[in-house]
Structure 1
Amino acid sequence: MALPLLPGPDQTGAPHNAPRRPQGLRLALLGAVATVALTGALANSFISTQPAIAETSAQAAPAASPVSFADVVDHVRDAVVSVKVKITETADASDSESDDDSDAPSSPVPHLAPGDPLERFFKRFGEQGAPHQFGPARPHTAQAQGSGFIISSDGYVVTNNHVVEKATDVTLTTDEGKTLHAKVVGTDKKTDLALLKITEPGTYPHVNFAGATPRVGDWVIAVGNPFGLGGTVTAGIVSARGRDIGAGPYDDFLQIDAPVNRGNSGGPTFNTQGDVVGVNTAIFSPSGGSVGIGFAIPAETAQSIIATLKDKGSVARGWIGVQIQPVTDEIADSLGLKSSKGALVADAQDNSPAKEAGIKSGDVILGVNGERVDGPRDLAKKVAALGPGKKADLLYWHDGSEKTVAVKLGSLPDDSKAGSKPAALADNSALTGLGLKLAPASSIQGAGSDGVVIADINPDGVAAQKGLRVGDVILEAGGHAVSKPSDISSVIADAKKDGRKAVLLRVKSGEGTRFVAIATNPAS
């Protein structure tokens, strides 16, 4: 998953992956909970917590609420398994000196404060702080744990990609304690799903995906392997649908408040009929434990991806080759659109289907094959679902009118590469009212030959509030290429005369190319 990750080991030394969030909140992948170096010493620890006392409500439960989930749990629990994964990894000096931004299990060596008496001990034995002292680090084996569930009588198992993506050996433990071996059939990093197959022949208890999407407020039951404790059942409701948590281009998560924790990754969320409505994959938490905000991949997404993995072992998605962003009200006004729906093309990549079809930066894609597009995520899902080689009719907004073009979809590349960040800049040219100091890109080493560079910015100014930063390069203003600061001033002045409230800037940064709408009258 394309997430910025932070370390956050639990009491057994498991990694805790999370994008950075304000107020210390972290989005944590739930898998890889219990990691131990099988070739080293294992320090056993257990953190006791004060049991919480549940408050009973004086108000009677609604009539629709189930009296007990026991019958459902009895029906499904035999199909839920603990997933244990062996991973061979090589530690290096960077492991102890930088944040762990990977999904790999961490070393069992504790994180020690500088000056801790044990620091010298671990350095002496080539562990944290000095893994290079006795020559090159040697590969060692680690173990990670997550959850999964059996979806067919012949032993196909669903879990998360981040639980098994680096696995050299996979074993499953059933609710009855039986150990089974499994192989990885296929994985899909973009949706964080994986399909396993039990290697021992037999007929296995299994569960089915739900045929209907749950409503917000419906009861759900999460079953999994939190903190490596084994089969655990929790209950709650669907809190929201269609959540975008920044995990990838196809985010469409269910948000649930049934408590899920690290080790629940890949475990199922059931409805009260015992059908799978989601695959648990992440939590939003300040501490790594459940605070009632968990995220599950919807059953309809999982079912489609798993079927493809079973058939082909991988997932191929349609691709048109554009960088896209949402259409804000200001952007819509600057382009003459009546609605902020659609996906704004920030850049059409060279030799891409979109470029060959004549789609350019500044165009807004409004529909695919007769279906209107709500926003960038909706467009990405629609195009991806069609698959490579298929033809699609794209409805788009260009130069003040709607146009339609037929596009033959390509295959989505595995990875996208970000451009290099411009070097530090300095300049004395100011653009009045926006809090910007600009300079021609050609005058700044490393900034390229096109556009105007932001050399300085007022952090409280209009431009900074729109997300512009020092080093960004403004390529176009109002659809016109710019090469000096006065070009931008002229475009803004002309827009004011035409009664436009905003001007669209096309901006290149280290993260790619995007559009930013700047008010023509910053003081208003």
Structure 2
Amino acid sequence: MLMRVLQAAICVWILLVGGVAQSRDLPKFTGLVKKNSPAVVNISTRQSFSPKKMLPEELQTPEAEELFDELMQRFLDHGNGGGAPFNFDSNSRGSGFIYSADGYIVTNQHVVDNATEVKVKLSDGRELPARIVGSDTRSDIALLKIEADHLPVLKIGTSRNLEVGEWVLAIGSPFGFDHSATAGIVSAKGRSLPDENYVPFIQTDVAINPGNSGGPLFNLDGEVVGINSQIYSRSGGFMGVSFAIPIDVARGVIEQLKRKGSVSRGWIGVYVQEIDANLAESFKMAKPEGALVAQVLMDGPAARVLRQGDVILRFNGKPVENASALPPIVAGAPLGQSVWVEVLRHGKRENVSLTVAELPTDREAQTQATPENAPAPPAPVTGTLGMQVSALDEATRQALGIENNEGVRVDAVIGEPARKAGVMEGDIMTQLDGRTINSPEQLQKIASALETGKTAAVLVQRGGSARFLAMKIEANATE
């Protein structure tokens, strides 16, 4: 009996000691918050919104806008004179932090987008008007300036050394509640989000809500390692997934905005895509890695150097782990200078040199369209790949920007393996297994020579862009 009591007491003691030790391992944020809160600011803006901008682009003419103004005046009985401009004013709030003691403030671009008035509220209660020095849509960063000096500033760290699972803390103004602190861990690094190709986001589970945008993300040393920017949410509120701009990316943008009010980025003129296991097999790669070149722009710096089907493994001495890693590396490359690019081409590693140009500031995406009066295509040819294809006439090739008599049109997907590969009706197929396709008959010949069970890369053009698909050759390709 005594032995059981002793055993029970020992177990309780172990649990108590273990609990105390575990609690000692948890971080204390009180000192960090107290030290850094004075340099975190609240940002309020006023925007002027014109309902006319809701009109389709083709209707945004002076006559249509004047008519729209008149209709809005009558509908809402605004009464400020027929045909006078009709605008709404709206207010929004965000966060930011003091970058330098002479009044430079960093925040998100979307916080001050279209703002007609910006005010910065300091921790001492002062609310000062701010001037937008510059903003950058691609990185979602803006730099403001207030007339003040001897301001408290934050210590800028590096995001390069962040590790998944590391504790981080955010200070901001969610829903207008000034200097709110929330903590969590780094969930992932290098996240690529839609339409955000130039930022390898830090993903965290720190509670971020409307109003936190533009606020700093700290490590346990009290250094700024990121700028809180976005959340993933189906409800509009925090759901455990938030994203921050790495400070290493932000710092270069901030310095350019401070120096010249705009941002210049490197550009080589290629579209790349991720490589999955099936594509890796088709390119004879041991594992998925690098960025697969799906399209090379004819007027771009890489036009005479890179080819469709190249896999970029290193750029300017930096490893390219995946497709989303390439744009930030290229963006930070020295403009006008030659850099070495390591590529995998036809199963062999090669080093090529190209000159990095400046990313055009207003370059529209190229679109593909079939001419309205194009002649009817020839009768389709049924291939062993499970699809019907037809030849392209010269007028269609010119409209699509296809050179050298390449490509066939996919008129119908009627079976495997095209369906499994993701081939769609209307695709223009230009390569199969690294060989250029000039006609339906040539496509049939290439396909017939492929071994059953082999995974072959297929290059298609769709909706103005090119991409590779992995197609596994099967014995019975049609239904």
Confirm or deny: 8 A CA contact 1:442 1:450 kept in the other structure. no
Tell me how far 1:228 sits from its aligned partner. 2.8
Relative to structure 1, the CA distance from residue 272 to residue 492 in structure 2 (aligned partners, 3 Å threshold; closer, same or farther) is: same
AA aligned to 1:470 is E
Pick the aligned partner of 1:490 from 445, 452, 455. 445
Pick the aligned partner of 2:407 from 434, 448, 451. 451
Confirm or deny: 8 A CA contact 2:266 2:334 kept in the other structure. yes
Tell me how far 1:423 sits from its aligned partner. 8.6
Is structure 2 residue 42 aligned with structure 1 residue 94? Answer: no
Question: SS of the residue aligned with 1:406?
Answer: strand
Relative to structure 1, the CA distance from residue 517 to residue 416 in structure 2 (aligned partners, 3 Å threshold; closer, same or farther) is: farther
Tell me how far 1:521 sits from its aligned partner. 1.9
Is structure 2 residue 268 aligned with structure 1 residue 320? Answer: yes
Tell me how far 1:93 sits from its aligned partner. 7.5
Unaligned runs of 5+ in 2: 1-17, 58-71
Is structure 2 residue 419 aligned with structure 1 residue 472? Answer: no
AA aligned to 1:188 is D
Flag the structure with higher strand content: 2
Confirm or deny: 8 A CA contact 2:377 2:393 kept in the other structure. no
Pick the aligned partner of 2:135 from 187, 197, 202. 187
Which residue does 1:138 correspond to in 2? Answer: 86
Relative to structure 1, the CA distance from residue 220 to residue 329 in structure 2 (aligned partners, 3 Å threshold; closer, same or farther) is: closer
TM-score, structure 2 normalization: 0.80
Tell me how far 1:399 sits from its aligned partner. 3.9
Deviations 1:109-168 (A, max 9, x none): xxxxxxxxxxxx9983079xxxxx965752443322211111221111111111123223
Question: SS of the residue aligned with 1:290?
Answer: coil
Tell me how far 1:339 sits from its aligned partner. 4.3
Distance 1:85 1:465 in 2: 50
Confirm or deny: 8 A CA contact 2:378 2:391 kept in the other structure. no
Which residue does 1:256 correspond to in 2? Answer: 204
Relative to structure 1, the CA distance from residue 168 to residue 151 in structure 2 (aligned partners, 3 Å threshold; closer, same or farther) is: same
AA aligned to 1:208 is K
Distance 1:271 1:404 in 2: 39
Pick the aligned partner of 1:75 from 26, 35, 40. 35
Confirm or deny: 8 A CA contact 2:420 2:471 kept in the other structure. no
AA aligned to 1:519 is K
Which residue does 2:61 correspond to in 1? Answer: none
Confirm or deny: 8 A CA contact 2:169 2:182 kept in the other structure. yes
Is structure 2 residue 20 aligned with structure 1 residue 64? Answer: no
Tell me how far 1:428 sits from its aligned partner. 7.4
Relative to structure 1, the CA distance from residue 431 to residue 519 in structure 2 (aligned partners, 3 Å threshold; closer, same or farther) is: farther
Is structure 2 residue 391 aligned with structure 1 residue 440? Answer: yes
Tell me how far 1:522 sits from its aligned partner. 7.2
Pick the aligned partner of 1:360 from 307, 317, 325. 307
AA aligned to 1:219 is W
Choose 76-85 or 289-298, whichever is displaced more: 76-85
Distance 2:394 2:264 in 1: 44
Which residue does 1:501 correspond to in 2? Answer: 454
Confirm or deny: 8 A CA contact 1:422 1:471 kept in the other structure. no
Q: Percent identity?
A: 33
Confirm or deny: 8 A CA contact 1:243 1:253 kept in the other structure. yes
Pick the aligned partner of 2:357 from 381, 406, 410. 410
Which residue does 2:436 correspond to in 1? Answer: 481
Confirm or deny: 8 A CA contact 2:120 2:127 kept in the other structure. yes
Structure 1 residues 370-389: aligned runs within 5 Å: 370-389=317-336
Relative to structure 1, the CA distance from residue 255 to residue 373 in structure 2 (aligned partners, 3 Å threshold; closer, same or farther) is: closer
Question: SS of the residue aligned with 2:393?
Answer: helix
Structure 1 residues 198-277: aligned runs within 5 Å: 198=146, 200-211=147-158, 213-277=161-225
Higher relative contact order (CA 8 A, sep 6+): 1
Is structure 2 residue 468 aligned with structure 1 residue 520? Answer: no
Distance 2:290 2:462 in 1: 23
Tell me how far 1:444 sits from its aligned partner. 9.8
Distance 1:470 1:386 in 2: 39
Relative to structure 1, the CA distance from residue 426 to residue 230 in structure 2 (aligned partners, 3 Å threshold; closer, same or farther) is: farther
Relative to structure 1, the CA distance from residue 228 to residue 465 in structure 2 (aligned partners, 3 Å threshold; closer, same or farther) is: farther
Structure 1 residues 336-347: aligned runs within 5 Å: 336-347=284-295
Tell me how far 1:94 sits from its aligned partner. 3.2
